[in-house]
Structure 1
Amino acid sequence: MIQLALPFPAIDPVLFAVGPFAIRWYALAYIAGLLLGWQLSRFIVARGSLWGGTSPIQPVDMDDALFWATFGVILGGRAGYVLFYNLPFFIANPLEIVQVWHGGMSFHGGLAGTIVALVLFARSRKIPIFSLLDVAGVVAPLGLLFGRLANFINGELWGRPADVPWAIVFPTGGDVPRHPSQLYEAALEGVLLFIVMLIAVRCGALKKPGLAAGIFGIGYGLGRIVGEFFREPDPQLGFLMFGSTMGMLLSVPLVLAGIALVVHARRQPTP
C-alpha cells in the first residue's frame, strides 16, 4: 500500500545572506519573540487596573528586563542543552559549547536562565520578584510560538513516524512520513497557552503575585509532555525510563513548581 504524505515546504532557513553574513529565520524567531514580548510586557505593566490599582512595575523597567532576559535565554538555553541532552559529546569537544550556530538550545535551560536573570534584575531594582515573573509568564508563549515555527522551517525536531493525512517527509528524517510535531507544539505551547494566559490576566491573575507564573509553568509543562508523545526523541538519548523522553522528565518538575506557585498565590489576599 502506498502511504501518502505531504512534501516538506521548500523554505530556505537562511532569509538572505551577504558574503559570510547570513540572516536566518531561527535568529529572527528569537528576536521577534523577544521584541513582541517586550512590547506586550510594557502594555501590561502600564495598566494599573490589571494589578488591582497600581502596577508594581514601570514600563521603563521592562526595557532593561529585556536585556537581562535575552542573556538568560541564550546562556541558560545553551547550558541546558549541554548538560541535559549531549554532555558526553561536549566533554569530548569543549569548543563546540560556544558554537551555538551549530544548533542546540534547551527550553528548560533557557527558562531557568531567564528566571535567574529576572530575579537578579528584580532585586537590583527592588521590584517584586513574583510580579516580574508573572509578566514573563504571560508573554513567554509568544517566544515559544515563533521558536517552534522556526524549528519547522529548519526541518528539525520532527515527530515520530505517522500515517495521518498531514504527515510530512522531512529532508533530514529519512523517507518516513512523520508528525509535524513542531506545529503541534506551536499550537499547544504558543497559541493555546497564550490564550490561557490572557484569560488569566483578564480574570485578575496579576493581583495575586505568582499566580500567572504558576499557570504558565503548569500549562507549558503539560503542553510539552503531550507534544513529546508525537516528537521523535533526541537520537543520542532515545527513550528513557518507562518510555519517557528527556523533555517529559524535565517538564514534570515544572508542572509541580507551577502547582506550588498557584497554591501559594491563591492563599494571598487580593488587593
Structure 2
Amino acid sequence: MTAFVQALGDGAVVAKRNLIKIKRVPDLIVGSTLAPVMFVLLFAYVFGGSIEIPGMDYREFLMAGIFAQTVVFGATITGSGLADDIQKGVVDRFRSLPMARSAVLIGRTTSDLVNNVIVVVVMSVTGLLVGWRVHSSFLEALAGFALLLLFAYALSWGMAIVGLMVRSPEVFNNASFIVIFPLTFIANTFVQENNLPGPLRVFAEWNPVSAVTAATRELFGNTNPMAPVAEAWSLRHPVLMTLIWVVVFLVVFVPLAVRQYRRAVSR
C-alpha cells in the first residue's frame, strides 16, 4: 500500500513536470487543438453537404465521431512523449532519483489526460458554434465526456507500450498512424456502419472506436430515430461495450507498459 501511494505521489510530480512543459511550450497545446477544430469545420462545411443521414442533422451525427477521433489521437501523445524523453535522456535522469519506476508512466498518462480535457472543451465550443447541440440531461452529457476521457486514458497505456518500444518520436508517429488511422475511419465516426461493405462493416461493428462513438451519441442524445436497430451486440449496448474495452485495455496494457518501461530503461 505504501509503495502504491508513493507511486501515485511520484506520478503527480512527473505529471506536473509535463504540464509545466506545455505551459512553457504553448505550441504543443495549440497543435493538439487546432487539428480537431479543422476536422469539425472541414466535415461540417465541406463534406457535410454531401453526406446525408436520414432522420438527423449530419453535424449532430458528426460531433461524437470527431470527439472519439480526437481523444484517440490525443492518446498517442503519451507514446510520443515517452519516446522523446527516452531519446533525450530524461528517463535516465529519473532513474537516478528515489522514485517509483511506474511514476513516469502514471505521470505521463495523467498529464496527457489533462491535455485531452482541454482539447475536448475547445472542441465542444467549436461544435456549438457550427450547430451541434446536446439533447440529453446535464448528467448524461457529463457521463458522455467522462466516458470519452476514460477511454482515451486506457488507450494511452497501449500507446505507452509502443512509445517505449521505438527509439524516436518520429518512428512512433509513423507506427501509431498506421494503427490509429484505420481504427478511426473504419468505424461509425463519420458514416453509418451499415453503409460499409461486408468485412469492413463487421470490423466497424466491433471496433472499440465505434463503441465509444455510439455511446457518446447515446449519452449526448444525438441518436438517429430513423436508423435501423444495430445487429451487433456491441452497438446495441455501446456504453457497456466501451466500459468493457476500458477494463480490457487497462488490465492488458498497464502491466505490459510497466514491463516494457523496465526493458527500455535497461537498454
TM-score, length of structure 2 as denominator length: 0.39
More helix by share: 2
Larger RCO of the pair (alpha carbons < 8 Å, separation 6+): 2
More strand by share: 1
TM-score, length of structure 1 as denominator length: 0.39
